[in-house]
Structure 1
């Protein structure tokens, strides 16, 4: 029986594309007429798990990660690499734009229902201070206790390492079989959750392809309305009296 529902943060609870595109426009205005911003964003998101793993392994500093992720997305469109300073400028603009983010429509209703039936949590890659600012901007403390929020910086490891999910088990005092995870990134969210023994829901609103057919999400939804319907159905089923 599921007793806790845990969420990814970035591009799962809010639309990360718009602050990303604005940061590209502010940092690289000369590139924007020819750059496919959505393709760049998709490459940036899909590189997330591997990038954080390299930071965890000590192979990249955080500044090197920032530069390498920007250059990877530009390389895919045959754009010359940028300097460290330019990549860090992009990060500054991007962080500033995140101060305007809002929840995907429908999450407030879903959280109101879920919070009465389940423990709610967040597992997110990123610096703790940076991620907590987003959480405050989204008004998430209304439903999520601070102790139920776990960042990769705080844990010392990032998704898709299953150990970060196991840490959440211990925080909540629950078994893996009692946990469900919702995330948009197959390589970070779904693989990590499944390897930790959790149930998983892939919020695949960017229409990515599955990367490992041996680890299949328990549920896959392609748009926010289907996700909210699934979450509300989960809350409703948990209130039903046993036969």
Structure 2
């Protein structure tokens, strides 16, 4: 039997929902920019800020402000630090109400019975990601010792060490292990470099970057994801 490891953010729940609500409250009247495009940009800048913080280039507490300031600068809005802080407060408020959509919950339940081992590998701080894991009730599907947070294990995707640490802890064979994630540069590249198989859950319909690395399977909907998992 094969093993399945999931990303969390924007894979097991809709990460855009709290962003969209904060945007509508604070900046929607200042721009006609498409919210999903803003969200995609914020995800890119979020990853950028995350690695800058790891490398000591910015303080950890500036990560969120960095992504919001850069995102809105792209559409001509000069967001001040206090405004970015307010955005984060509203974002965190709405994030407290995140949930696993029914289609994804059904997939997780299926994976519990159809695959030998299932787990989670997510980038971020233990405090933030741990809260998300609780809010999403991921313990309904995953054991505590199969949910891995980069801050806790000392390596972050796409670093292959993050995947190797999960592989070692869960005693996985890479040729029998599949990773499911939404971010090409972090999830697909990292897992493929670690020798795992990958399903790219590209529900934001991003263009595939040029290069030699490609996912084993690309899907754009939960229905397609479920079908792909049934065929593995």
Task: Tell me the TM-score normalised to structure 2 length.
Answer: 0.92
Within the candidate set 103, 106, 110, 1:109 is matched to: 106
- Are 2:51 and 1:53 equivalent residues in the alignment? yes
- Correspondence list, 1:222-233, <5 A: 222-233=220-231
Structure 2 counterpart of 1:156:
154
The answer as to whether partners of 1:127 and 1:153 remain within 8 angstroms in 2 is yes
- 3-state secondary structure, aligned to 2:231: helix
Counterpart Cα distance in 2 of 1:111 and 1:232: 12
1:155-195: CA deviation from partner (whole Å, max 9, x where unpaired): 23322111111110111012322321000111111111111
Taking the aligned partners of 1:201 and 1:122, their CA distance within structure 2 comes to: 14
Partners in 1 of 2:46 and 2:192 — Cα distance? Answer: 18
Change over 3 Å in CA distance of 1:25–1:78 after alignment to 2: same
Partner of 2:65: 67
How far apart, CA to CA, are the structure 2 residues paired with 1:182 and 1:23?
Answer: 28
Unpaired segments ≥5 residues, structure 2: none
Listed as ranges, the gaps of 5+ residues in structure 1 are 235-243
Describe the superposition over 1:62-85 as per-residue Cα deviations: whole angstroms up to 9, x where unpaired: 2222122112211221222x2333
User: Aligned partners of 2:92, 2:195: CA distance in 1, in Å?
Assistant: 33
Shift of 1:30: 4.2
Partner of 1:122: 120
* Counterpart mapping for 1:137-216 below 5 A: 137-216=135-214
1:60 Cα deviation after fit:
1.7
Residue 44 (1) aligns with residue 72 (2): no
Which residue does 1:238 correspond to in 2?
none
| Distance of aligned partners of 1:199 and 1:48 in 2 relative to their CA distance in 1, 3 Å threshold | farther
Paired residue total = 231
* 1:141-162 Cα shifts (integer Å, max 9, x gaps): 0111111111122123322111
Per the alignment, residue 77 of structure 2 pairs with: 79
CA-based RMSD of the aligned residues comes to: 1.8
Q: TM-score, normalised by structure 1?
A: 0.88
Give the 3-state SS of the residue equivalent to 1:153 in structure 2.
helix
Is 190-199 or 97-106 further displaced after alignment?
A: 97-106
Contact 1:47 1:69 in 2 (8 A): yes
